[in-house]
Structure formats: structure tokens, C-alpha cells
Amino acid sequence: MAARITSIAVNCSDPAALAAFWSQVLGWEVHEADDELVTLGPPGRPEARPVMDLIRVPDPTPGRRRLHLDLNATDRDQDAELVRLLELGATRVDVGQGDVEWVVLADPEGNEFCLLRSRVSAG
């Protein structure tokens, strides 16, 4: 029973500029890019996880965290993993996400993370 980090999501005002920084820091390359989202990952391995998603937001909102983890269950569906995470002490969080297929949660200290719908391998 485990979850796996699949994406480190960073809210920012300029995804391309931030991608230039992090690609140099990590030695990663751009796997996907448009005006709103740049995805970085290990060179030559677009299937490798985790990746870093740099997401444009209109204004990194005061009081809202700029960084969060995206998790995918490895051995159960999203609903079953949600139950497990809540039992471990996670709480649901409304950050204005609306009707989406992921679930926004917070750890016991209030750090936000998302539980995505799809299941991934444990490796």
C-alpha cells in the first residue's frame, strides 16, 4: 500500500523563465511546454516520474502555497487511496479547484497536495 510522487507542481508567473532556471539546477529538459504550463523531467525520458510542472497563475496568491505534490495511487483506485490518506490524517482542502478529477488534501501540518485519478506503477 503506497502512493508515489508523480509531479512537483509549482505555481508561478512565468513558466518559461522558471523552467530555464530549474532545468539548469536539475539537469532536466523541457518535455512539454505552452504558455500556461512547462513540464520538466530527466533528459530523454519523457515517461520518467516525478516531473516538475511549472504552472502559470495570474498572481501567486498571498496565503496560497506556491508548491505542492501530486500523488497517484500505485495499487488501488483513487477512492480507496483517498480513504487511506484520510485515515492517515490528511484532510480535504478547498482551494477553489471547482469540479475536477483530482482531490486536494492537506497533510497534518496544512501542506497541500493533490491525489490524482490515474494509478501508476510502484517503480
- Does the 3-115 domain belong in CATH 3.10.180.10? yes
**How many Å apart are CA 28 and CA 34, to the nearest integer?**
17
Domain boundaries, the chain: 3-115
The pTM (predicted TM-score) of the whole model is 0.71
61 pLDDT tier (thresholds 50, 70, 90): low
Q: What is the mean pLDDT of residues 10-18?
A: 90
C-alpha angle 51-66-123 in degrees, rounded to nearest 5: 25
79-88: per-residue pLDDT in tens?
999 999 999 9
